[in-house]
Chains A and B, each alone.
Chain A
């Protein structure tokens, strides 16, 4: 029993309900952006709940704006990253939802350690803080982000806590209070 066992009380009819839409979207993306798509994992075949579309960084904006504008996946539910401990190291993970049909999809972008990613603020303004959090936690930089500062940790913190090689114990000491943010004085 694993993720592909249909559990009646946790979105039991989820797969059957959304499979036509998922197939339609995946086919549309494949015919339009075949070069940019690295891999597509479908539920029941791979160990996932919704289709995972892994795209190249170069086609990121094109595929995402197509998903947002044309294919109806216009709601950015969540934007995060994972540290895979192998090369390329990071995955940006977007959870998208279609607000009309409530179908969900997951888009992943592979990034190596030094790579930057274009910011998604032009598509979703809400991505602003999510990107700041990814920067804070994983150290992934976003090109064109207007205000890429740490969001949860102290401004002077060193290291990025959610990286797998970050130590579990330890502390950093600051003897002076955090300086006033220059952002507001502009």
Chain B
């Protein structure tokens, strides 16, 4: 091709025609890519379920005309573990560990949201220190999730070193999480009405140091990639999901904000102490791969700001709510008193009763709105435990997003919406 921009043949058309208007018999109004020897040859391409570019076990079948995707459909469910069914057959306490395996890149956010959902049904208020720690957890997890999303997206398009910068900080963040709860990936850190353990002495200072480092690294990552010409050509104007489509397909989170849907539940539906901290909500307008990348990168900076503010304001204090129903007995009581031992067994074997009622509790997870719709009819297990994972709705938007794009851009589009199989399949 003589032109330096390989996508130039589409740009003089209205966006709708370029994206949607490629019919199954190739439209003559669309200029042809004369170098494409495979043009007009219909090929079915199967990607996945185990393909390095899919980031999880899901599958995408695409019908190609030359190199352009005419139609595609997605299949998933390979990691379906029936979490919603398990939620109806485990006690509320036992279900905490299952929430880790939803979006495993940001397990702490799932823990926090689930704990909030049950606490809301029970009318429990956790003490201030626990709330601040939970906020810090959520923001740490968000930074990790965004770093891995933009990193992997860049790896898929060939920018490997960019990923390593983020990966290093991510590793350090996992070490911070390990200091909280002993686990790195599957944290199970929250309990209903409190936390598994208090943050160690000086933890918030370490977080602040890490924030300082990460800020410099994020700026470096920004300088490294954002202005890169190859990166811009691969991402600008690629896989556009505009505002109307985002609302139609229930996009939330960074993917929707990249298209100008100005909704951030941390700001618009403040829970915890998000109304007391100062942060901006980055919003882009186009909704292409680049915007999704840049919104995420900017959100990392905002999360780092929130982390500093939390670290400044966190104070010593109790981490358990003053509620006998959900309080796990202390170990010295369990080992030394009969009542404590009985309580311990009753708690873990039978669980606690949650009053009848139903609530949909949602929180701005790294990918979008994570919601738990819990219907309780009394008793220790839920009647219905519905998990609204943002990836489910984002993955549905992949087909309209990539229609009329090159097959190579499918990888860019998929990486940019950050579909996580654990959350998609539940």
Q: Which residue on chain A has the smallest CB distance to residue B363?
A: A10
Chain A residues near B84 (CB, 8 Å)? 137, 162
CA distance A162 to B273 in the complex (A): 36
Q: Which residue on chain A has the smallest CB distance to residue B426?
A: A152
Chain B residues near A154 (CB, 8 Å)? 77
Q: Which residue on chain A has the smallest CB distance to residue B355?
A: A2
Asked if B123 contacts A3 (CB within 8 A), the reply is yes
CA distance A83 to B84 in the complex (A): 12
User: What is the number of residues of chain B that contact chain A, defined by CB distance less than 8 Å?
Assistant: 60
Asked if A77 contacts B358 (CB within 8 A), the reply is no
> Which residues from 383 to 399 on chain B have a C-beta closer than 8 Å to any C-beta of chain A?
383-384, 386, 388, 392-393, 396-397
Interface centre among A2, A95, A183 (most CB of B within 10 A): A2
Partner of B77, one of A153, A168, A184: A153
Q: Hey, what's the 0/1 contact readout for A114-141 against B, CB within 8 Å counting as 1?
A: 0000000000111011100100010000
Instruction: Beyond A9-B131, A77-B369, A184-B73, list 16 extra A-B contacts (CB 8 Å).
Output: A1-B123, A3-B355, A3-B358, A7-B119, A14-B269, A47-B355, A48-B358, A49-B358, A77-B371, A77-B388, A83-B384, A106-B360, A133-B392, A151-B76, A152-B425, A181-B75
Asked if B77 contacts A78 (CB within 8 A), the reply is no
A172 within 8 A of B: no
What secondary structure prevails in chain A residues at the interface with B? Answer: loop
Asked if B388 contacts A3 (CB within 8 A), the reply is no
Contact A9-B272, Cβ < 8 Å, known A75-B250, A95-B373? yes
B184 within 8 A of A: no
Asked if B357 contacts A2 (CB within 8 A), the reply is yes
- A137 nearest CB across to chain B (Å): 7
Q: Which 10 A-B pairs have the closest CB atoms?
A: A5-B123, A47-B357, A1-B123, A3-B357, A2-B355, A152-B77, A49-B359, A126-B250, A126-B249, A78-B388
Interface centre among B85, B250, B273, B357 (most CB of A within 10 A): B250
Q: Hey, what's the 0/1 contact readout for B44-85 against A, CB within 8 Å counting as 1?
A: 100000000000000001010000000101011100101011
Interface centre among B119, B357, B425 (most CB of A within 10 A): B357
Residues of A within 8 A of B (CB): 1-5, 7-11, 14, 47-50, 52, 74-78, 80, 82-83, 93, 95, 99, 102, 104, 106, 124-126, 128-130, 133, 137, 150-154, 161-162, 164, 166, 168, 181, 183-184
Chain A residues near B392 (CB, 8 Å)? 129-130, 133
Asked if A184 contacts B61 (CB within 8 A), the reply is yes
CA distance A181 to B77 in the complex (A): 15
Contact A104-B360, Cβ < 8 Å, known A95-B388, A126-B396? yes
Partner of A151, one of B77, B88, B124: B77
Chain B residues near A184 (CB, 8 Å)? 44, 61, 63, 71, 73
Asked if B270 contacts A11 (CB within 8 A), the reply is yes
